[in-house]
Amino acid sequence: MDEYSYINIFDTKGIEYLVIIAFLVLLIPFWRALNKPIKARAIAMSTLQALTANILKIKQGIFYNPNHTWARPEYGGYANVGLDDLLLHIVGPVNIKTLKMSGDRVVKGEQFAQIESAERVLKIKSPLTGKIERVNTLLDKETLSNDPYGKGWMYKIKTEKWAEETNSSIQDNEVAIWFKNELLRLKDFLATSLNKNALEPAAVILQEGGELADNPLSEMSAEIWYDFQENFLNN
pLDDT per position as a tens digit, 120-132: 999 999 999 999 9
Are residues 19 and 125 located together in one domain of the fold? no
By residue range, what is the domain housing residue 209?
A: 50-235
Are residues 95 and 68 located together in one domain of the fold? yes
Are residues 193 and 182 located together in one domain of the fold? yes
Are residues 144 and 192 located together in one domain of the fold? yes
Q: Give the pLDDT confidence of 177-222 residue by residue, as tens digits.
A: 999 999 999 999 998 888 887 665 544 555 556 688 899 999 899 9
Q: 217: which residues sit within 8 A by CB, 6+ positions away? A: 90, 91, 92, 224, 225, 228
Are residues 56 and 9 located together in one domain of the fold? no
Are residues 42 and 54 located together in one domain of the fold? no
Are residues 3 and 102 located together in one domain of the fold? no
Tell me which of 47, 67, 85 is where a domain ends.
47
Are residues 138 and 151 located together in one domain of the fold? yes
CB 200 within 8 A of CB 224: no
Are residues 154 and 65 located together in one domain of the fold? yes
93, 118, 119, 176, 197 from 182: Cα distances, Å: 20, 25, 26, 10, 22
Structural domain total, the chain: 2
Are residues 16 and 59 located together in one domain of the fold? no
Q: 35: which residues sit within 8 A by CB, 6+ positions away? A: none
pLDDT at 46: 39
Does the predicted TM-score (pTM) go above 0.75? yes
CB 139 within 8 A of CB 154: yes
Are residues 132 and 177 located together in one domain of the fold? yes
pLDDT at 128: 98
The phi and psi torsions of 168 (rounded to 5 degrees) equal -105, 10
pLDDT at 6: 52
- The CATH number of whichever domain residue 94 belongs to comes to 2.40.50.100
Are residues 8 and 109 located together in one domain of the fold? no
CB 100 within 8 A of CB 135: yes
pLDDT at 65: 97
Q: What is the pLDDT along the chain (235 residues), one digit of tens a residue?
A: 455 555 554 455 566 656 666 656 665 555 565 554 444 343 344 345 889 999 999 999 999 999 999 999 999 999 999 999 999 999 999 999 999 999 999 999 999 999 999 889 999 999 999 999 999 999 999 999 999 999 999 999 999 999 999 999 999 999 999 999 999 999 999 988 888 876 655 445 555 566 888 999 998 999 999 999 999 998 7
